[in-house]
Chains A and B, each alone.
Chain A
Amino acid sequence: MNKPLRRIAIFCGLLVLALLLRTNWLQYVEADELNSHERNRRVLIERYATERGNIVVDGKPITGSANTKDTDFAFKRTYLDGPMWAPVTGYASQAFGASQIENIEDGILTGNDDQLFFDRTMAMFTGDEAKGGNVVTTLNGAAQKAAFEGLGKKKGAVVALEPGTGKILALASTPSYDPSSFAGYGATDEKSWNKLGKDTDKPMLNRALRETYPPGSTFKVVTAAAALEHGVVDDIDAKTDSPLPWTMPGTTTKLVNEGNIPCKDATLREALRVSCNTVFGKLGYNVGKDKMLETAKKFGFNEEQFVPVRANASIFPEELNDSQTALSSIGQFDTRTTPLQMAMVASAVANDGKLMKPYMIDQLEAPNLDVIKKTESEEMGQPLSQEHAQMLQEMMETVVNEGTGRNAQIPNVTVGGKTGTAQHGENNSKNPYAWFISYAKGENGSPVAVAVVVEDSDATRDDISGGGLAAPIAKDVMKAVIDSKK
């Protein structure tokens, strides 16, 4: 009977072998996949097992951790000025996951990131309490406050950048939400979450990064840049060949201006000052769709930005006929942009044509405050030459000094800007969006560039509304940045 016995022995060996292979498969090959599985509660347990690291603004944390008596989640996230900072921090909820910085830098905040391996190992030996690292942002508390309070009850967004570095100084979006209200997993948290989800005002939408608006007249800055870069205009004070009204090529539609403004054959400077649709429409058509697209892309259009939170791609349409090119060049038709994108446009102009990559995380710190990773400023490109940038600056400063952007004037500070009122909806029936992009300039270059959009502009439908609604907010933000530097 020994022969079959030996075979049974082999069979039993194969059974054990199958189990050994399977456990290798599960615990080695598939381990990562299982560990990051959406149903794996360990991810959440881990996220709240230790005191979560903080998100820091101006050296002070804007987040915190509260000790709970829960069997699964020892700590719960708390927020300081939650609604104001929500577009920056995102949320970390025991029941509903995490978003934005809370999600992207989860490894650092929980302290489980591989970059913290050394610290974790040391903590194991010294017996220190395990704790997460910190995320230090580039934001400026005063600027954020000015932006958030400036928007107030209105719907809208503000993005402020430091043109020389690309640092994001303010990132506000209203209406906002308080991430503390659903940080746990209880019944009240669920109620708040559901209420936020059902709110038609979409408070959880990050309007600064994720919403695209027609930019309206603020886009004329891009068109002007394209015209200068591609040699269509050489002298900003020379008369242009601009009939009034101008019939768009290939159509019988006449392009008109808002109100009765001096646009016939206006100079580029004058056209930007009073915001002539006719001049810039024709200018865009003269530059041509390909060259318009080229310049728009250089400013960052048609591409998602990661700051490192993802911002939607702004759009300058790729397929256009002549009249559509003209309309797109004055920020209508299918041109859409995020507030971040328009802030990038303003900052590139302010920074003498050099566009810096925007970012909002300055550095990551280990629990013991050692710097693990510091974000270096990075040049994204040069959408326009220094010479042309300075020409644009002159023009934009004229807009603020004696044009539609007077509301943004700051005493003893050079300010350049551009207003915009973007019509939208069927037959432009809805209330237009009020835009304002601007920058401030001092002796050592420009400390801040801002883009403001206010959605529910119920002011009169003329170009002044951008200046009336959005410009004061931009002014406050710029002033806050300048004051905080003193």
Chain B
Amino acid sequence: MSVVTNTTTIGAIEAPSRRNTELAMLGFAVAIPLFAYLNVGLALDGKVPGGMIGYGLGIGLLAGVGHLVVRKFAPYADPLLLPLATLLNGLGLVLIWRLDQSPRLIARATNLYGGFSPDAPKQLMYSAIGIALFVAVLLLLKDHRILQRYTYISMAVALVLLILPMFFPARNGAKIWISLGPINVQPGEFAKIIIAIFFSGYLMVKRDALALASRRVMGIYLPRGRDLGPILMVWAMSILILVFETDLGTSLLFFGLFVIMLYVATERTSWIIFGLVMSAGGAVGVATFEPHVQQRVEFWLNPFAQATWDQSEQVGQALMSFGAGGTLGTGLGQGNSDLIGFAANSDFILSTVGEEFGLAGTMAFLLIYGLIVERGVRTALAARDPFGKLLAIGLSGAFAIQVFVVAGGVMGLIPLTGMTMPFVAAGGSSVIANWALIGILIRISDTARRPAPAPAPSPDAEMTQVVRP
């Protein structure tokens, strides 16, 4: 939506920056979680929670810092992305804090580990680190096109990040963690951004070759082998993750990202077929001999069967959580979503939304995610350079797929895969990585919406204004 009127006499009119809109929206994004926090406190203890001021200041400060940095360093950025992410992050904190108060979870942790440590303070710290990374992205990344330079380095980094967890012990059945002393990192979350950077850089260069220099076999364009090399490598890597790390979610995310970006870059439908065939081939191939995957499918199909229940009652419990919520929910702090057990505040946090906010709240949550994706796609449409377009659609596509895979798994729409709801679920890597993702999207949208520089003065025009005697 270029409003720039490029007339020589008047010069460039700046697009409205919408920074004040963003500030107003941020006000809501801070106020709503604050009310939610108050609500939990009143529901659980019957009094205003003690941390009200601290919590309010904390989240307000984080939002404020984010806003100021955007105002200064990305003045034309999309005004909705930051408030939406802040709102989700804030509500996530409330939900985690609410689950921290659950006597059932406290008793469980005390029985199993001899003690209970609340997750909300950690999550607040991770949120702060996330905002810090968001600020760092905006400060250091003056122009997203700089990232093009790191195409192949990105690929190498992504490969390392994805392969590393293989050498660390599995946690809760999946090898998706790197543990260094007290620090636990889930590299998959960061890898999705880095892979998007690699795909954007690579496809931008090779898109013509991939789209045009291909042989037509039975109505389908098949690409040349040498253009396909790095793509096949990523595909193979996704399968390896599936096999060795039994991480269904991450591989699904990469398959999806891979298909979307190939399609956008080549603009050819045949690439969707090509990508889908490769993805499906890999997935089906692995599923036939990987018991972990088969088990997940079994859990999904028969969540209430005795055999499923004996091994894991999580999926069934989550479904009953949603059912218990009904249309309007039980109200914050008044549900029993903590019956899900240890993953209640991470993988399954959406169940708490479902139970305590009800159908109305769940739909609102899903729509907030949908809005973030939509703003990302708009950014891709508005971006002027193919690299920016690809990166923006890659990041928003990955975000959309992640939300679908997690929410769909928790709601029993698809087999459970073990990723986390961006911003809402407890877990440092997820929050930090997704703030970086929003940072990059904001940077691209800033570049896209920035008015074109004023045209150079036209000598002819000047001539006509000079009245010579």
- A interface residues with partner B (beta carbon < 8 Å): 1-9, 11-13, 15-16, 18-20, 22-24, 26-28, 30-35, 37, 39-42, 45, 71-72
Are the CB atoms of A15 and B404 closer together than 8 Å?
yes
What residues of chain B lie closer than 8 Å to A15, measured between beta carbons?
A: 400-401, 403-404
Is the Cβ of A1 less than 8 Å from the Cβ of B404? no
A27 touches B354 (CB 8 A): yes
Report whether A5 and B381 are in contact in the complex, using a CB–CB cutoff of 8 Å.
yes
Q: Whose C-beta in chain A lies nearest to the C-beta of B413?
A: A22
User: Could you write out 28 A-B pairs with CB less than 8 Å apart?
Assistant: A1-B390, A2-B381, A5-B377, A5-B381, A8-B393, A8-B397, A12-B397, A15-B401, A16-B400, A16-B404, A18-B404, A22-B411, A27-B323, A27-B325, A27-B326, A27-B327, A28-B326, A30-B323, A31-B322, A31-B324, A31-B326, A31-B327, A34-B319, A34-B320, A35-B323, A40-B323, A42-B336, A72-B104
Report the separation of the CA atoms of residues A11 and B259 in the bound assembly, to the nearest whole angstrom. 12
Contacts of B433 in A (CB 8 A): none
Known A15-B404, A19-B413, A20-B366; contact A5-B380, beta-carbon cutoff 8 A = yes
State the Cβ distance, A39 to closest chain B Cβ, in Å: 6
Contact A5/B264 with A18-B413, A27-B326, A39-B309 known, Cβ cut-off 8 Å? yes
Q: Which residue of A lies closest to B360 (CB)?
A: A27
Q: Which residues does B use to contact A, with CB under 8 Å?
A: 103-104, 107, 260, 263-265, 267, 304, 309, 313, 316, 319-320, 322-327, 336, 339, 354, 358-359, 362-363, 366-367, 369-370, 373-374, 377, 380-381, 386, 389-390, 393, 396-397, 400-401, 403-404, 407-408, 411-413
For A1, give its contact among B267, B362, B400 (CB under 8 Å). B267
Q: How far is the CA of A145 from the CA of B309 in the complex (A)?
A: 45
**B381 contact set on A, CB distance < 8 A:** 2, 5-6, 9
Chain B residues with CB under 8 A of A71: 103-104, 107
* CA distance in complex: A45, B309 (Å): 19
Establish whether residues A8 and B263, one from each chain, have CB atoms under 8 Å apart when the complex forms: yes
How many angstroms from the CA of A149 to the CA of B408 in the assembled complex? 61
Are the CB atoms of B359 and A19 closer together than 8 Å?
Answer: no
Shortest Cβ-Cβ A-B pairs, 10 listed: A34-B323, A27-B359, A16-B370, A12-B400, A15-B404, A26-B322, A71-B103, A9-B377, A22-B413, A4-B264
The minimal Cβ–Cβ distance linking B263 to chain A, given in whole angstroms, is: 5
Nearest chain-A residue to B392 (Cβ)? A5
CB <8 Å contact, B264 and A40: no
The interface residues of chain A lying within 8 Å CB-to-CB of B309 are 39
Check A9 against B404 for contact (C-beta < 8 Å). no
Which DSSP category, helix, strand, loop or mixed, fits chain A's interface?
helix
- With both chains docked as a complex, state the minimum distance between the C-beta of B446 and any C-beta of chain A, in angstroms: 19
A23 touches B264 (CB 8 A): no
Whole-angstrom CA separation of A8 from B400 in the bound complex:
10
Could you say which residues of chain B place their CB within 8 Å of the CB of A22? Answer: 408, 411-413
A6-B380 Cα distance, complex, nearest whole Å: 10
B408/A19 in contact, CB under 8 A: yes
**Known contacts being A2-B381, A26-B354, A26-B412, is A41 close to B339, with CB within 8 Å?**
yes
Which residues of B lie under 8 Å from residue A12 when comparing CB positions?
Answer: 370, 373-374, 377, 396-397, 400
Q: Smallest Cβ distance from A417 to chain B, in angstroms? A: 53
A350 to B326, CA, bound (A): 52
- Min Cβ gap B208→A in Å is 12
* Other contacts beyond A5-B393, A16-B403: 4, CB < 8 A: A4-B267, A16-B369, A19-B408, A31-B324
Q: What residues on A are CB-neighbors of B267 within 8 Å?
A: 1, 3-4
Cα distance A336–B265 when bound, in Å? 82
How far apart sit A7 and B103, CA to CA, in the bound complex (Å)? 47
| Closest A residue, CB atoms, query B263 | A4
Q: How far is the CB of B124 from chain A (nearest CB, A)?
A: 26
Nearest to A13 among chain B residues (CB) is B370
A10 shortest CB reach to chain B, Å? 10
| A27 / chain B contacts, CB cutoff of 8 Å | 322-323, 325-327, 354, 358-359, 362
Tell me the smallest distance from the CB of B342 to a CB of chain A, in Å: 16
Contact A8 B320 (CB under 8 A): no
> Which residue from A1, A2, A34 sits with its C-beta under 8 Å from B324?
A34
B358 CB contacts on chain A under 8 angstroms: 27
Give A6's nearest chain B residue, CB to CB. B381
Q: Check A34–B322 contact: CB distance below 8 A.
A: yes
> Which residues of chain B are within 8 angstroms of A35 by Cβ–Cβ distance?
320, 323-324, 326
- Smallest CB-CB separation from B366: which chain A residue? A19
Name the CB-closest residue of A to B397.
A8
Known contacts A5-B264, A41-B339, A45-B336; A19 and B407 CB within 8 A of each other: yes
B residues near A6, Cβ cutoff 8 Å: 381
A26→B362 CA distance, assembly (Å): 11
In contact, B366 and A16 (Cβ under 8 angstroms): yes
Q: Are A8 and B377 in contact (CB under 8 A)?
A: yes
Give the residue name and chain of the A residue nearest to B265 (CB): A1
User: Nearest-CB distance from A213 to chain B (Å)?
Assistant: 38
Q: How far is the CA of A398 from the CA of B415 in the complex (A)?
A: 76
Cα(A9)–Cα(B396), bound, Å = 9
Question: Could you tell me the distance in whole angstroms from the C-beta of B360 to the nearest C-beta in chain A?
Answer: 9
Q: A15-B404, A31-B326 are in contact. Are A26 and B319 (CB under 8 A)?
A: yes
B185 to chain A, nearest CB (A): 27
B146 CB to closest chain A CB (Å) equals: 21
Alpha-carbon gap, A32 to B320, bound state (A): 10
Give chain B residues whose Cβ lies under 8 Å from the Cβ of A42. 320, 324, 336, 339
Q: Is the CB of A39 within 8 A of B373?
A: no
* Chain A residues positioned under 8 Å from B367 (CB to CB): 16, 20
A44, chain B: closest CB distance, angstroms:
10
CB atoms of A31 and B400 under 8 A apart: no
Q: How far is the CB of A202 from chain B (nearest CB, A)?
A: 27
Q: Which chain A residues border B389 with CB–CB below 8 Å?
A: 1, 5
- Cα distance A219–B370 when bound, in Å? 74
Say whether A26 contacts B411, CB under 8 Å.
Answer: yes
Chain B: minimal CB distance from A183 (Å): 21
User: Chain A nearest CB: distance from B321 CB in Å?
Assistant: 9
A7: B residues at CB distance < 8 A: 263
- On whether the beta carbons of B319 and A41 are closer than 8 Å, the reply is no
Give chain B nearest CB distance to A24 CB in angstroms: 6
Which residues of A sit under 8 angstroms from B324, Cβ to Cβ? Answer: 31, 34-35, 40, 42
In the complex, the chain B residue whose C-beta lies closest to that of A46 is B336
Q: Are B363 and A23 in contact (CB under 8 A)?
A: yes
Chain A residues contacting B260 (CB-CB under 8 Å) are 8, 11
A177–B105 Cα distance when bound, in Å, is 36
What's the Cα separation between A384 and B319 when bound, in Å?
56
| Complex partner residue of B336 from A1, A2, A41, CB under 8 angstroms | A41
CA distance A87 to B386 in the complex (A): 79
For residue A258, give the distance in angstroms from its CB to the closest CB of chain B: 54
With a cutoff of 8 Å between Cβ atoms, the chain A residues found around residue B359 in the complex are 23-24, 27-28
| A50 CB → nearest B CB, Å | 13
Residues of A within 8 Å of B407, CB to CB, are: 19
Separation of A6 and B389 alpha carbons in the complex (Å):
12
Closest chain-B Cβ to A336's Cβ sits at a distance in Å of: 36
Do B319 and A28 have beta carbons less than 8 Å apart? no
Interfacial chain A residues near B413, Cβ < 8 Å = 18-19, 22
Considering only CB atoms, which chain B residue lies closest to A18 in the complex? Answer: B413
Interface hub of A12, A31, A35 (most chain B Cβ within 10 A): A12
A23 contacts B320, CB within 8 Å? no
Complex: A15 Cα to B377 Cα, angstroms: 14
Residues of A within 8 A of B362 (CB): 23, 27
Q: B408 contacts A18, CB within 8 Å?
A: yes
In Å, the complex CA distance between A22 and B405 comes to 13
Contact (A39, B354) CB under 8 Å given A23-B359, A26-B411: no
Of A13, A15, A24, A39, which is in contact with the most chain B CB atoms at under 10 Å from its CB? A15
- CB-CB < 8 A to B404: which residues of A? 15-16, 18-19
In the complex, what distance in Å separates the CA atom of A20 from the CA atom of B365?
10
Docked Cα-Cα span, A18 to B389, in Å, equals 26
Whether the Cβ atoms of B411 and A23 lie closer than 8 Å is yes
- In the complex formed, the residue of B with least CB distance to A27 is B359
Q: Are A1 and B322 in contact (CB under 8 A)?
A: no
A323–chain B nearest beta-carbon distance, Å: 51
Chain A residue numbers with a CB within 8 Å of B401 are: 15
